[in-house]
């Protein structure tokens, strides 16, 4: 998977199209990612006993990785991701549009 925790991404399809956020969790076995402030759902939680109150809980649901794209560090637009080897032998992710390095 080319998306990692902490990456800045933009939603390119679905209800939240055009919104940007940071990846908070990656679910590689399901090919999904959780993005802060994106795909927010509400769930009603029942009170477990008399002392507690029932409440409505908001949470970010996972979104499919194919519906998000990396944000190019130089232009701020969506870009595809490629790989490049540095002189010291490290493999890093680069933005295809500008060639700028995505990995820190």
Segment 36-55 shows an average pLDDT of 94
The pLDDT value recorded for residue 1 is 85
Segment 63-80 shows an average pLDDT of 94
Domains, the chain, with CATH or none: 7-71 (2.30.30.30), 75-103 (no CATH)
Confidence at 87, pLDDT banded by 50, 70, 90: very high
The DSSP result for 54-98, as a single string, is -EEEEEEPPEEGGGEEEEPTTT-SEE-EEEEE-TTS-EEEEETTT
């Amino acid at each position: 998977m080319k998306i990692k925790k902490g990456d800045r991404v933009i939603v390119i399809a679905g209800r939240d199209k055009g919104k940007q956020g940071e990846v908070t969790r990656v679910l590689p076995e399901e090919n999904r990612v959780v993005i802060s402030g994106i795909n927010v759902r509400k769930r009603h939680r029942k009170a477990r006993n008399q002392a507690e109150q029932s409440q409505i809980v908001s949470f970010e649901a996972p979104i499919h990785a194919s519906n998000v794209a990396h944000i190019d560090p130089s232009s701020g637009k969506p870009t595809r991701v490629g790989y490049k080897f540095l002189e010291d032998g490290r493999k890093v992710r680069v933005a295809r549009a500008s060639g700028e390095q995505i990995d820190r």
